Amino acid sequence: MAMTATPVFTQTPNVGALNAILSTAMTTTSAFDGTAATGTSMALVYTAGANGSRIDQITVRYASTNGAAAAGTSSASVIRFWINNASTNTTATNNIFLGEVLMAAQTVTAAGTTVLPIGAVSIPVGGLNLPAGYRIYAGSTVAAGGTSIAFAVNAIGGDY
């Protein structure tokens, strides 16, 4: 891309994976380097577009697994985030740690609402710019607990 004095704005909204679900725990090693295979402990949250992307916010909230009714008490967990260089995330050198957020234990009713609602935890990333094809992965350090309780992760941004 040629250098210009004209400000650059995102052209197309990009909301990532829409509720990437995490319900189990990563292994000890992968919890630190982001090398877990995608599944119930690690999820692809966002992929930058062909000209790169800007991410403004990442949110984590309590959810349920596969639309099942969540109930019981969740476990407290740390949700960690990594930026991946558009290669396989199971190779540690392809990932860089972005940050983490603590999710407090919550009591959840069968109707899927929390008794003491905390709502979504937002992580302002301050206009994080990603090169083309770069990705953000999220992983849980502790299983969500309860019955069918999970964490839903969303990233909000736009593609250049």
Q: What is the pTM of this model?
A: 0.88
pLDDT digits 0-9 by tens, 134-156 = 999 999 999 998 888 899 999 99
Query: Is the pLDDT assigned to residue 126 strictly greater than 90?
Result: no
Query: Is the pLDDT assigned to residue 118 strictly greater than 70?
Result: no
* Token pair of 126 as six digits: 């301050």
Helix/strand/coil for 18: coil
pLDDT digits 0-9 by tens, 64-105 = 887 777 888 888 899 999 999 999 999 999 999 999 999 988
Q: Which long-range contacts (CB under 8 A, 24 or more apart) does 112-119 make?
A: 112/64, 112/69, 112/70, 114/62, 118/62, 119/61
pLDDT digits 0-9 by tens, 1-35 = 566 777 778 888 898 888 899 999 998 888 889 99
Question: Between 71 and 52, whose confidence is greater?
Answer: 52
Query: Is the pLDDT assigned to residue 107 strictly greater than 60?
Result: yes
pLDDT at residue 95 in the model = 96
Cα 43 from chain centroid? 7
99 Ramachandran zone, left/alpha/beta (phi>0; psi -120 to 50): left
* Token pair of 62 as six digits: 């309590």
State the Cα–Cα distance between residues 135 and 126, nearest whole angstrom.
Answer: 17
- Domains defined for the chain, CATH in brackets: 12-26+40-159 (2.60.120)
Q: Which of 36, 63, 53, 34 is nearest to 125 (CA)?
A: 53
* Token pair of 77 as six digits: 């967990």
Which residues contact residue 112 at a Cβ distance below 8 angstroms, ignoring those fewer than 6 apart? 64, 69, 70
